Every structure is written in structure tokens, then in C-alpha cells.
Amino acid sequence: MKEDILPFGKLNFKSVNIAGGKGASLGEMTNAKLPVPPGYVVLASAFDAFLNETPPPVGPGQGDLNVFIEAELGKVNYQDISSIDRASHVIQDMILDAKMPANISAAVLQEFKKMKCQWVAVRSSATAEDSKIASWAGELDTFLYVGEKDLVKTVKKCWASLFTPRAIFYRFEKKLLKISVSVAVVVQQMVDSEVSGVAFSVHPVTRDKNQLIIEAGYGLGEAIVSGTITPDSYVVHKKEGTILDINISAQEKQIVMKPAGGSVLKPVPKARQAKQKLSGKQIMELAEIIKHIERHYRCPQDVEWAIAKNKFYILQSRPITTL
């Protein structure tokens, strides 16, 4: 198999420069036998090959997409938002209209078929030779409940998200225009979560190292991450193994799957809205997994998790940068 694509099991924390932060973290946790849904990463080298080998779909055909993108970025007046917007639209359209090299699209689909699942989550995972990019890498796009027929197109959408107006301006503002920035794409089996959320292995507000905090909501965790809902929060004492605080938030809306793929915001049934999202037993089970992740990484972690059919899954983990 061409080394433009690697399953999580062949990646680890040292793979950041080829798989981005998300891809490297998922590989590391898979190898640490944590409950990570299976998946693979379309490495940054695939995006680089696409830019270097693909002629622009329109225009005089001078050079490859890379040359075209450099020329467009060169025209931007960073004091003028409409100039940034225009360049963003032109570059993103160009990426989405260009044909992905046949060997890469074939490998993307071949690896998908091996997973024997109907739906995947497709997430951008930025790579750069500069750590300043890490704080921005999370801004790139994520697509949920993607099926086989839309997969190749969605990988290109992740590539294009490297050139949103916000991303272009960030690179200018942080003086990263001359730094090689690329993007890998994580393709991961979709967990159809009944409840999901985030957890912090150290209390992010009080900074108490003996406490971890779990936030939980119905449906997909994107609702919490985007601030659409206020989640339940549970505080656990790590050493004593006790629940110190339970704060229940009524939840009226949840993000769930649309029948033909993609996600939608839907009402939570009235009878469930005010209920506690995780039981005491589930809170303690998840707390043990969070402690395991922190021990593995040897630093405080910000973890995305989900539960489906009474089984916990870890979708992402990154260091808590604010501590």
C-alpha cells in the first residue's frame, strides 16, 4: 500500500509531522490499547502530492495547484477582509474542482472498505514545522456521518479548509506564510453516540490536580464543543475515587444523524431533557479511562469521548494548553 495512507495502529505521538496532531494522538492511543474507534489517516504527503501533481482545472494551466495557490496568496491585501475572502473562495473552489490523483482516491476507498462500517467522521489535522500552528489546528473542518460515495469529496473539503479566510489570516498574523503548512485527514469509524462530551484530567478552573471534570450531553459531542448546549458536569476526586459534584443541565436539543448521512440539530424528548446524562457507575468508569490517558501522556489531558450501546470510546486527546 502506498505510504500516503496509514491506519492508526501504524502511527504514534512522533507522527505529528505526517499525520497532524489529531492523527498522531489517535495512533498513540490505539497502540496504548485505549478504546479508540478504528480508522486511518490520509497523510499530509497525499495533500502535498495533490498540490504538486494536479494542474488547475481552469485557466491557462501554467504549473500545478501549488503555483496557483502561491500566486493567489501573493495578491492578498491583509488589511482588507474582502481581499482575504476573495482569495479564500478562489483557492477553495480550485481545490474542490480539481481531480484527486487516482492512486490516492483508490487508496482512500480501499482503506475505508477494510473498516466494514457505513459511516465515518472525517477531520482535518494540520501539520507544520512550527508549534505556533498547533493552537490553530483545531479550527479546521470536521464532517460527520460521511458515507463511501462522499468520502473522496469530503477529504478534499478538509484539504480546502486550510484556506478558509480565518486560516489565511491566521497564517499572515502569526508570520507563518513562509512556513510549510500541510494538512492530513483523519477518517474514523463514526460512533453513533447516545451521550458524549469532553473531560479534563485536571480541573481547568481551580487547577486542582486531584480533581478531574467530565462534561456530558445527549447526542454528538460537537454540540458541547461548539457551545450549542450547556452540558452536565461531574467532578471526580482522582485519588479517592469519589464523585465530589454533580451538576445537571436540562438539554432541549441534540446533534444526531440525518437518515441519509450528515448531522442535524433535533429536540431531545421532553421526558429525558432534565435527566442526568451519565450514571454514577458510568462516571467512575470514564474517570478511570481519563486517568489512564493522563498517566500515558504524563501531562494533563483534554479528552473527547462518547458512549454507544453502553461502551465508552475515546475520540481525541490533547494536552490542556491553558494550564
**Smallest Cα–Cα separation from 30: which of 317, 300, 319?**
317
Alpha carbons within 13 angstroms on the beta-carbon side of residue 298 total: 1
Q: Specify the pLDDT at position 56.
A: 73
At the second CATH level, the architecture of 5-189 is 2-Layer Sandwich (3.30)
Q: In CATH terms, are 5-189 and 195-319 the same topology?
A: no
Q: Are 123 and 22 in contact (CB under 8 A)?
A: yes
State how far the Cα of 117 lies from the Cα of 299, in Å rounded to an integer: 34
Q: Specify the pLDDT at position 126.
A: 83
State how far the Cα of 270 lies from the Cα of 218, in Å rounded to an integer: 13
Domain extent listing, the chain = 5-189, 195-319
- Could you give the C-alpha distances from 131 to 21, 127, 134, 179, 312, in angstroms and in order? 10, 9, 5, 11, 31
The predicted-structure confidence for 233-275, as pLDDT tens digits, reads as follows 999 999 999 999 999 999 999 999 998 888 999 999 999 999 9
The predicted-structure confidence for 38-74, as pLDDT tens digits, reads as follows 999 999 999 999 998 887 766 555 568 888 898 999 9
Which residues of the chain, if any, have pLDDT below 50?
1, 129
Please name every residue paired with 198 in a beta bridge, in sequence order, or none if there are none.
Answer: 215, 304
Q: Specify the pLDDT at position 280.
A: 98
Amino acid present at 171: R
Q: Specify the pLDDT at position 1.
A: 43
SS (HEC) of 40-90? EEECHHHHHHHHHHCCCCCCCCCCCHHHHHHHHHHCCCCCCHHHHHHHHHH
Q: Specify the pLDDT at position 75.
A: 93
Chain CA centroid to CA 107, Å? 21
The CATH code for residues 195-319 is 3.30.470.20
